[in-house]
Amino acid sequence: MKQSLAIVTGAGRGIGKAIAQRLKEDGFHLLIADLDAKAGAQAALELDARFVKCNVGEENSVVQLFKAADKTGLSIDVVVNNAGIIRDGVIWKLDSRDFDLVINVNLRGTWLMCREAAIRMRQQGFGHIINIASRAWLGNPGQTNYSASKAGVIGLTRALALELAGKGVSVNAVAPGLIDTPMTQNLPEQVRQKLINSQPGKNMGSAKDVAEAVAFLASEKNRFITGQVIHVDGGKSIGSLAF
Ligand code: NAI
């Protein structure tokens, strides 16, 4: 097998860690990037991965991450842009800093990562970029900042898919719905229950459910899918109520 490197951001815990684990099972070498040095280093130890502390919202930090990836001498075949944050609240209670922060990490961070990935992948004539969006891109009350950031990620995904279509590089988005991770475990219990009850199947997904979709898009099996959004959300994005 080719010596392929997969970079996964925000892989210190939650969905990113599950994605890294799943890609490892498929034989990829791993480079884990996370803002949280402790969690990232621990995940890297568990997954026998390389770790680079990185803030995806900072240009120089992203450039350094890719320099570290270049140094491995491996082919950067997969980049999963998973790092993301929430700062929820109805718009009349939000500070503009909550908007800037969420846009900076979720959208600008994904764009910075995509640019470094694109520079390398178009040159090598191969690669898969997978951006982790959210079902919230369709609109969620209390998440004007987050929904805007994730809708932006989908626009970015579609535009970049066109730019790289003739270069052997796919660019897709995976949009998770309600997934059981520290991000959702930290929500007030009342809010969590409300969200579960609003699911068509009254259930939550697991980080592994998301990882399976990412693994397919990152695999050799994905030859002809690009610019798409795969919802992993138990049907929530359909919009109608179940029986
Ligand atoms: P999480 O909060 O459990 O983990 C996020 C990880 O990203 C953490 O390890 C954190 O340290 C890291 N991170 C945060 N800011 C960073 C930055 N600036 N640079 C580098 N790393 C950073 O989140 P979770 O639930 O695993 O979410 C992962 C992705 O999936 C996010 O993009 C999130 O928006 C998305 N998502 C999650 C859903 C859920 O229900 N948990 C639903 C839909 C989307």
Contact 230, 174 (CB under 8 A): yes
CA gap 103, 120 in Å, rounded: 25
Q: What pLDDT is stored for residue 240 in this prediction?
A: 76
Ligand 1 touching residue 80 (CB < 6 A): no
The residues assigned a catalytic role are 146
Task: Report the SS3 class of residue 157.
Answer: helix
Ligand 1 touching residue 39 (CB < 6 A): yes
The fourth-level CATH superfamily of domain 4-231 is NAD(P)-binding Rossmann-like Domain (3.40.50.720)
Contacts of 119 by beta carbon, 8 Å cutoff, 6+ apart: none
Q: How many other C-beta atoms are found inside a 10 Å radius of the C-beta of residue 32?
A: 28
Closest residue to atom 33 of ligand 1, CA basis: 84
Ligand 1 touching residue 131 (CB < 6 A): no
Ligand 1 touching residue 152 (CB < 6 A): no
Structure tokens, 79: 């980049």
What distance in angstroms lies between residue 166's CA and the mean position of ligand 1's atoms? Answer: 31
What distance in angstroms lies between residue 182's CA and the mean position of ligand 1's atoms? Answer: 9
pTM exceeds 0.75 for this model:
yes
The CA dihedral of 17, 19, 23, 24, to the nearest 10 degrees, is 20
Closest CA to 213 of 159, 177, 160: 177
What distance in angstroms lies between residue 243's CA and the mean position of ligand 1's atoms? Answer: 32
CA gap 190, 211 in Å, rounded: 27
Structure tokens, 178: 């309600």
Residues of the chain with confidence (pLDDT) below 70? 1-2, 242
Q: What pLDDT is stored for residue 8 in this prediction?
A: 99
Q: What pLDDT is stored for residue 46 in this prediction?
A: 98
The ligand 1 atom at the shortest distance from the C-alpha of residue 13 is: 9
Domain assignments of the chain as residue spans, ordered by start: 4-231
The ligand 1 atom at the shortest distance from the C-alpha of residue 36 is: 11
- Residue-wise DSSP of 54-96: --TTSHHHHHHHHHHHHHT-SEEEEEEE---------GGG--H
Q: What pLDDT is stored for residue 1 in this prediction?
A: 54
CA gap 181, 94 in Å, rounded: 24
Q: How many other C-beta atoms are found inside a 10 Å radius of the C-beta of residue 228?
A: 15
Ligand 1 touching residue 232 (CB < 6 A): no
Ligand 1 touching residue 9 (CB < 6 A): yes
Q: Is residue 202 exposed (0-12), middle (13-18) or buried (19+ Cβ within 10 Å)?
A: exposed
